[in-house]
Structure 1
Amino acid sequence: MKLTYAAFILLGLLWGSNFIYMKWAAELITPAQITLLRVFFGFLPLAFVAWRKGVIERRQLRHIWHFLVMAALATALYYFAIAKGTALIPSGVAGVLGGSIALFTTLASLLFLRSEKLNGLMAIGVLFGFVGIVLIARPWQGADRAIDMAGVSWMLAATAILGFSYVYVRRFLSPHNLPPLALATWQTGLALLLLLLVTDRSGMGRIIEDWHAAAGVAIGLGVFGTGIAFLIYYFLLRELGAVAASGATYITPVVALLIGRAVGEPLGILEVGAVVLILGSIAMLQIGRLRSSRAPERHP
């Protein structure tokens, strides 16, 4: 059990530190190039473990079109939108906005999955989440706002993409009971091929001019923040279940904000308030979904 809790904390730290690595790399290369390097170095450990465990099978090719959709949306486009948003706003703020994934997953589930039902606690959680986002975006500041709205929009687009991809997986892939590691490997490998086809790689070598940025994007963001994080998440899924494993998202915004503060980014009452609201939103949505799923058992 101690190993499980250590893995839980480590996953939150890995996810939370991704934003500063993207921020460093954005000073030298484009968001598309950051995405390409992240997926490449993240794919390596996934492919190795998938090969060792023998989870990739030829018969899985029948689902190739669904894998391609997930590769394009939930990997290539999702990671690009995060890199683009993080390049435009402080890394800590990006981490807080990235923590709103549960909010958009819930909205997408309510819209497209008949099994998902909204209850009062979930409604309050959605409201809290959006209030937290507004506190971060500060639309009342107008043209003089400290936070770039384009960056906020890219981050929200990323979380929305991932939220809707969850619905896609539930509808088209979950019924086939594919091993999660196999799905992640197919998804990441195909995303790598797509990114190699569409990414302008000119000037990408500039990343080696700064060893902090190079190590951050290759080892921190790619190997650990993507590949190893996937593997830890699947370990937690097996040991704790989906709801408990996703609780690592509580740690992510806090870690990102503290790292941002450590490197000199401002940390004010609005940022702290936004974190509290978004974390409260995640908790209410998770508890609300558990209550909703148990409702038929109480009322047969």
Structure 2
Amino acid sequence: MRQPKLIDYTLLIILALIWASAFFNIKIATESFGPITIAFLRVFFGSIPVLLLCFYKKIKIEAFSKDWYWFAIIGFVNLVLPFFLIAYGVKSVQSNLAAILMSTTPLSSTVLGHFFTKNEKFDFIKTFGILIGFSGIVYLFSDNFLINDNNFFSALMILLGSTCYVIGGVLTLKISDKKNENVTGSILIWAIIILIPLVSFIEKPWETTPSIESSISVVYLGLVSTGLAWLLRFRILKNNGLIFQSQVSYLIPIFGIILSYIFLDELITDKVLTSLLAVLVGLYFVKKAGNKKIT
């Protein structure tokens, strides 16, 4: 891995902005589309740049190989479920809350890694970071002005969606010997296959007349926040490694709050800022423990 240069930090910031921008775009998309439709359109448009890259680089897509069931399971857990749950939740809560809730993914990964991997066990620093980070989320749920009886369940669904990403990551270890582009393309294909009957029989989006804003948002979510973001992530991982790429976790909730304020004029309460700070501090200690093991 090379030493990070200015271009590498620039790409990292761009990736964080792209992923952070997904939250307010999901909010806009929910004005016209149901959560299943949003999930379907995200994976459909998101598959286009990934599959085109695989075609250009002559990378074989193994979606229907002997390992098809792993691609199908991961596609369901890592794409279908979280995309649906996040869209469902964001409809009833501010998108900046979703950005903070989703930033707990590295903390959840650390917890699951302790139980399902051999080399990711808890130590004092990790445990301290996890406790600080999740205490921030508990504190966020105490903000009765933004999270109340009407949308408490929706906020929990977003948190569950972030956990699905973590479980999907653990499952991906089963096929870790395959190229990232092949895995991503294959799980996107299976996510589309899974969602086609669901969107057709449950939401029937062709019977609605979506607004221009919502239509632009779902296309953006697919092409940019899903497809382009994954390709950008591949490049950063290849050039700079996982530790460098994981720093995006610090930036996403910060950018998410800023963008939601700019584009949706969403409220930023003291509890939101305190929760954000606690999550970032928790992430810092968890990653600090991980860096010590590598060095």
TM-score (norm 2): 0.92
79, 89, 92: which one aligns with 2:93: 89
Taking the aligned partners of 1:34 and 1:56, their CA distance within structure 2 comes to 28
> What's the secondary structure of 1:62's corresponding residue?
coil
Which residue of structure 2 aligns with residue 298 of structure 1? none
* Counterpart amino acid of residue 89 in structure 2: G
Give ranges in structure 1 of 5+ residues lacking alignment: 295-300
> What's the secondary structure of 1:241's corresponding residue?
helix
Give ranges in structure 2 of 5+ residues lacking alignment: none
204, 228, 237: which one aligns with 1:202: 204
**CA contact under 8 A between 1:84 and 1:151: conserved in structure 2?**
yes
* Counterpart amino acid of residue 158 in structure 1: G
Correspondence 1:284 to 2:278: no
Listed one character per residue, the Cα deviations across residues 236-279 of structure 1 (whole Å, up to 9, x for unaligned) are 00111012112112111111111222222110111111111111
* Counterpart amino acid of residue 267 in structure 1: I
Which residue of structure 2 aligns with residue 189 of structure 1? 189
Which residue of structure 1 aligns with residue 158 of structure 2? 155
Identity of aligned residues (%): 21
7, 23, 29: which one aligns with 2:33: 29
1:65 Cα offset (Å) = 1.2
Higher relative helix content? 1
1:203 Cα offset (Å) = 3.5
Taking the aligned partners of 2:284 and 2:206, their CA distance within structure 1 comes to 40
Taking the aligned partners of 1:207 and 1:156, their CA distance within structure 2 comes to 30
Which residue of structure 1 aligns with residue 169 of structure 2? 166
> What's the secondary structure of 2:66's corresponding residue?
helix
Taking the aligned partners of 2:28 and 2:145, their CA distance within structure 1 comes to 28
**CA contact under 8 A between 2:63 and 2:187: conserved in structure 1?**
no
Aligned length: 288
140, 152, 155: which one aligns with 1:136: 140
Which residue of structure 1 aligns with residue 213 of structure 2? 212
Taking the aligned partners of 2:96 and 2:148, their CA distance within structure 1 comes to 17
RMSD: 2.1
Listed one character per residue, the Cα deviations across residues 202-243 of structure 1 (whole Å, up to 9, x for unaligned) are 2446464x212111111x211000000000000000111012
TM-score (norm 1): 0.90
Correspondence 1:3 to 2:4: no
* Counterpart amino acid of residue 265 in structure 2: G
- Counterparts of 1:93-108 in structure 2, within 5 Å, are 93-108=97-112
**CA contact under 8 A between 2:102 and 2:162: conserved in structure 1?**
yes
> Which runs of structure 1 show a deviation greater than 6 angstroms over 4 or more consecutive aligned residues?
none
